Amino acid sequence: MAILEVDDLRKEYGGFTAVEGSSFEIERGEVFGVVGPNGAGKTTTLKMLAGLIEPTAGTAVVAGHTPGEREMQRRLGFLPEESPLYEEMTAVSYLEFFADLYDVPADVATERIHDSLDRLDLEHRERRIGNMSKGMQRKVAIARALVNDPDVLIFDEPASGLDPLTTNYIIEFTRELSDEGKTIVFSAHNLFHVESICDRLIIMNDGRIVARGTLEAIREAHGGTEYHVYATTDGSDGPAAADSPLEVTEENGQYRHVVADMAAVEAVREAVEAGGGRVTDIQTKTPSLEEIFLEVASEPEETEA
């Protein structure tokens, strides 16, 4: 059952359309990626889901509640791209303050806060937030999104601009939250992170969704898997013409035949051997999300995945 339903969500600023009629659903327990270049409309979309900005049209429903409803706020945790933190407070007092805003009983809050900070491996938690490193501040912001023990977490660029170790920590922690049954909507510039933890994703460009689905489905719709068959050039008649490879190039003294399926791999192998050559290597090539992203970001319309 969908825990988050987005129907024709649209945001205009004056005459400028930041998000143009997005519709999608997110299932309970999914990690759902929102990907796109700068200015694509990711943050605007996430803020509308969190009820922080009013859509111009359309609706977002989280666990049966519309943004702004108290019950919806209780069920949702939002990590903004840039989280303003109260620099004079310590991490713990800051988090206790927010837990109180959510009416979390003090003893429950204390346990929950220390549990989150332990799991995020935050040291020096009695230090003033203003004196913490960027990575430590990000961990505090993540713990803040968890003080009300929400079912749905919306993370806008959770690990952007952090060192690789802190980034890994945050990605791993996000994965653990998902394993515990939380639904997570996650935007990121680093496509490797999206690729490593998201079940499904949308790719946005210029306010529109240009691709959607599982990574495999998006891959399939945008080139799918290719096989590269390398063959010797010595003593052969030349590259195999069998079953018309998609592409043949000569590389480092070998022919590289690009084909689309295993049957074509076999046909190339037979043709190479019949011509006096030998297959030296076969490699499977799946386009990275990065490559797909560059392709779809330049397409005007959504392709069905």
Ligand X SMILES: Nc1ncnc2c1ncn2[C@@H]1O[C@H](COP(=O)(O)OP(=O)(O)OP(=O)(O)O)[C@@H](O)[C@H]1O
Instruction: List residues near ligand X by CB under 6 A.
Output: 13, 16, 18, 36, 38-44, 81
Alpha-carbon span 240 to 196, nearest angstrom: 37
Backbone torsion region of residue 244, taken as left when φ is above 0, otherwise alpha when ψ lies between -120 and 50, otherwise beta: left
Of the pair 81, 295, the CB lying nearest ligand X is at: 81
For residue 285, give every residue at least 6 positions away whose Cβ sits within 8 Å of its Cβ, in sequence order, or none. Answer: 225, 226, 227, 228
CB atoms within 10 A of CB 234: 10
What are the tokens at 52? 């922080």
Q: Tell me the torsion sign for CA atoms 31, 36, 39, 41.
A: negative
CB of 100 to ligand X, least distance (A): 30
| φ and ψ of 254, to 5 deg | -135, 160
Residue 124 region by backbone torsions, left for phi larger than 0, else alpha for psi between -120 and 50, else beta: left
Give the nearest distance from C-beta 207 to ligand X in angstroms: 7
- Tell me whether residue 203 or residue 279 sits nearer to ligand X (CB atom): 203
Residue (114 or 189) nearer to ligand X, CB: 189
Question: Which residue's CB is nearer to ligand X, number 130 or number 161?
Answer: 161
CB of 36 to ligand X, least distance (A): 5
Query: From the CB of 50, what's the least distance to ligand X, in Å?
Result: 13
The minimum distance between CB 237 and ligand X, in angstroms, equals 52
Place of tokens 């400028």: 16
Q: Which is nearer to ligand X, 105 or 161 (CB)?
A: 161
